[in-house]
Structure 1
Amino acid sequence: MTQHAVHLAAAVTHEDEWYVARCLQVEVTSQGTTIEEALDNLREALELYLEDEPVPEAYETEVITAPIEVRVA
């Protein structure tokens, strides 16, 4: 089986003492004590997830992320 790179996007948040990394295209999340550790753990979790799941073309589309401000009452 040949391997190829799949480009995915992740969002990282700081929750208590953990950094939580979430993939934006696939329902996979991981955590770590640093941002780098959270992303490394997410990469490993995604590789395991994608061993059993086909990679739909939708995963390989570019995700544009941007901060937005929302005003709430």
Structure 2
Amino acid sequence: MNSPHLIKIEHDLRVLSLEELEWLLERIAKQVQERKQISNTLTDVKYMNEQLVTMASDLAIQTEITTINNEFSITEMDGLQKL
């Protein structure tokens, strides 16, 4: 990971004071945490979507949904119009 950009940053860091380095380190740590949280959130969404696809193709779940729809079909005729 010794890109020219990183080498320049490392060189620039040498001129900073200890206080400036500590401040920068805190900022970098905060950004890393934020990116990890975003990454974890996206991973969780992807996992949930995969689980939903699996459930939607499960025959037992499809049968249960059909049963529930049949049980509530009478209440759908209660006179309320769909929006």
- Give the helix-richer structure, 1 or 2: 2
- Give the strand-richer structure, 1 or 2: 1
TM-score for the superposition, normalised by structure 1: 0.30
Name the larger-Rg structure.
2
